[in-house]
Structure 1
């Protein structure tokens, strides 16, 4: 049969004169990408679970240029599609010495697919709106699209996917009637979401990196040790977590790796050379769902990653899979991954950007409530612990504040970086064994279905502004009755009450305070962080009823 292009091409990493392009085909094929100026690359598809994928490394790109490209399967042109109304897909490279060039990162999270949105009457998709503007104004093209979780919803499916699931359940496949479980079911989510015409074009022409949040697997994924124990008793959970992580590795994580990282990655090399990688992926999915603990000290698979763009360092953190959930030792990252993060955070750059699906700085009242809940849920008194656990699950109390040691450690890291000084032993150093304070530190986040900008305060002035930039949702919404409650969570009076509650449980007041500079905004939105020289500007844009973008907030720091 003739191979067809199912999803893609998706432009992922552009590094120097090379780029990676991901795609899915209907049949095995040789994939050829050809760009203007003689650049190109060839790869043979690899297969898993009866599906076919390719990650093509394009070489020979011209510096500081936008080069249109085409895709062929078995020497038959498939992209751009015949009669396409969209502009050509291009690979945009930076100059050879890009240290003086500005860096632009567009970010957001929580995007339900168009068919799902139609059934819920959601407001216009901000990513669609961003794509339409880029089609007519290339000056708005960012260097990178940073997608911060809930790219697909495994537990909130569209009517079309639910019909497919209903047929699967009738044929004997276990699982909830309206939630995906197996790999084949996960592929329907990506097919539905990434074939949206405007978004498909956008992903073909703007490089992107991604990280999961809970809905790629299930709501409240890895909330606590008891949550994991309860899920393990579900007969379909083992298949769901294995298929969810395997599909995430193929559809999202693989493209986060640059060409050199791909060449050095043993799993990718095995998968790419296997005739059928189904068993490799199945075993991988099962093996990586074991966070480090007192019982399991094996170093977990690292989903976090880092990259440099000019004088900007981006570090994207896994907030979900590798959490340590052992009571009394809870942490967002296991020790080895935290050490890796510290190493990435110290170096020769002007701006440090952290991608964290969950906001570090939440509305203050929610922060104090989560800190209180963590203390109560770990109480030696059984009824208190049970009560705390029920509240944690009922109200999603699972952000950085609910991992208090990690919240404090991240704040301390930012304080030290913002002051400048000697580099900790064992970590990357600058000239003379010390580092200069960066021009800015920004945490990009999503998840909470409203957008805001906040600045951290450490009790004394720092040369470096430390910012929380939250943009969510791209395409979803907060139920109207909850919006007043979320607005109230930013109130000083409500925060004082919540702080009193946490204090009564023995929670120490956080060393860092924060001030909201913009928001909250509850509509669909995309955020853009522009870094130029020693300055940074954060901009959040919402969608109008007509599907156009308008400025919600702009903060320079």
Structure 2
């Protein structure tokens, strides 16, 4: 409902008001043998003069990415020496940054930064306990990159941002086209996403990391709303549904890809902006992040633009590069066809349909899943370089292996979630039971889900993050679990 002056009311933000100042937040832009390219975001009250950013190359003035809701989002483009890193200064504070091109280098991977309901109502010390552990570790042994693999926001509260959006969400999915879109709804949606990013980025543990460790981010469903894309077209393409996606996409571009809305990221591959996937490269390392949400529908994970992006990114990867592929939902997982069959026939279980459809292993996506696995296997068997899949989404930690022809192994490492509460014990037990049956859709390439080193069950039901360590050309991975602590490393 509009206010007395005709403006949309502020979106609800739980018990935390959106701050006027956020940042700096660093974003990785790739690098070469000479320099690592970076972009820093800084949010200030509208009209306040932004400071200069200072590096070894001199003073850097910002450009404006957005001016919204009484704030201005500034962006600074700069570089630091490749192979050694350096320090940048802004607002009288210096921030050291490690180069991803150093021989001894560490990368952190996180996902699922929130919960579906009441995310802002939790005490921050509890909510961000694992984030704080990661931030403290960075101060002792710095990371070169922070990979964020999906659900950086839990934005499901957007459905409470306006009475008409609440009414839309309460209707049957196939009938939601009956709710008309108004300017007040549009503004309420845009304000919600904008301010939720400010709240998320201002949290102390994240802010400490984000100022020192460049991020690479790719969204998943909760950055929009739960299950986005795995719902009927009547819901997705309704006037309000389409505007939810448009508002989420606009703010994703600003706050996760660090570009102006309407611009194509320099690290992207689709000039039309249909797919927002990226590939960010450093000497010997390529981080490829396909967009699994922009074109998702009940019958597909990616459309033509998404597949073109992914296949082009692989084709252009230099020989010898280690590829880290961020697949927001696991590329290797247990057989789900039996579960989907049960959901079809058991009364009341259809509420889980969108969760099952979200997975590559859904029977609906089997052809696409085989296409993805073929792309990965062909790379792994080509001798062009090593490949590791990084995934999240399932609120558990685990790992997977796909045996390749010729005796090689492709590893998948799953870390989820950094702040989402651990699920009930029955959930990892059920997935572990399904994993025992295996699922190997490509002939001669068996897939197996494996427990973490020293862990009693296939899936670890604790909050967690992943640490990748490159020493020379050797890579290892270990998980930090909230209660169990650090696992033994796995060679990948």
Q: TM-score range by the shorter chain?
A: 0.7 to 0.9
Q: Does 1:555 align with 2:485?
A: no
Q: Does 1:400 align with 2:363?
A: no
TM-score in terms of structure 2 length: 0.77
Question: Paired residue for 1:202?
Answer: 209
Aligned CA RMSD, in angstroms, stands at 3.9
Question: Paired residue for 2:309?
Answer: 340
Q: 1:454 to 1:202 in 2, by over 3 A?
A: same
Q: 1:348 to 1:511 in 2, by over 3 A?
A: closer
User: 1:15-94 alignment to 2 at 5 Å?
Assistant: 15=31, 16-50=35-69, 51-59=71-79, 61-71=80-90, 77=91, 80=93, 88-93=94-99
Asked if 2 retains the 8 angstrom alpha-carbon contact of 1:64 and 1:93, the reply is: yes
Identify which of 416, 432, 443 aligns with 1:472.
416
Q: Does 1:353 align with 2:324?
A: yes
Report deviation, 1:510. Answer: 9.5
Question: Paired residue for 1:116?
Answer: 120
**Secondary structure at the counterpart of residue 56 of structure 2:** helix
Residues 114-157 of structure 1: CA deviation (Å, up to 9, x unaligned): 9626269956532221102222x1x3x22211111111111148
Asked if 1 retains the 8 angstrom alpha-carbon contact of 2:267 and 2:278, the reply is: no
Asked if 2 retains the 8 angstrom alpha-carbon contact of 1:101 and 1:310, the reply is: no
Asked if 1 retains the 8 angstrom alpha-carbon contact of 2:319 and 2:384, the reply is: no
The count of aligned residue pairs is 441
Report deviation, 1:323. Answer: 2.4
Q: 1:223 to 1:457 in 2, by over 3 A?
A: same
Q: 1:115 to 1:368 in 2, by over 3 A?
A: closer
Residues 229-287 of structure 1: CA deviation (Å, up to 9, x unaligned): 13444x63333222111111111122699x995599999xxxxxxxxxxxxxxxxxxxx
Asked if 2 retains the 8 angstrom alpha-carbon contact of 1:31 and 1:56, the reply is: no
Q: 1:125 to 1:540 in 2, by over 3 A?
A: same
Question: Paired residue for 1:513?
Answer: 447
Question: Paired residue for 2:228?
Answer: 221
Gaps of 5+ in 2: 1-18, 171-184, 453-457
Report deviation, 1:473. Answer: 0.5
Aligned-partner Cα distance in 2 for 1:393–1:34: 49
Q: 1:237 to 1:133 in 2, by over 3 A?
A: same
Residues 481-534 of structure 1: CA deviation (Å, up to 9, x unaligned): xx2242232236x754x98xx9xxxx9999542241425212111102223444
Question: Paired residue for 1:321?
Answer: 294
Aligned-partner Cα distance in 1 for 2:348–2:283: 46
Asked if 2 retains the 8 angstrom alpha-carbon contact of 1:442 and 1:467, the reply is: yes
Identify which of 456, 467, 481 aligns with 2:402.
456
Residues 380-401 of structure 1: CA deviation (Å, up to 9, x unaligned): xxxx799999365265442111
Asked if 1 retains the 8 angstrom alpha-carbon contact of 2:330 and 2:414, the reply is: yes
**Secondary structure at the counterpart of residue 89 of structure 2:** strand
Question: Paired residue for 2:21?
Answer: 6
TM-score in terms of structure 1 length: 0.69
Question: Paired residue for 1:252?
Answer: 256
Report deviation, 1:417. Answer: 1.8
Aligned-partner Cα distance in 1 for 2:275–2:136: 35
**Secondary structure at the counterpart of residue 133 of structure 1:** helix
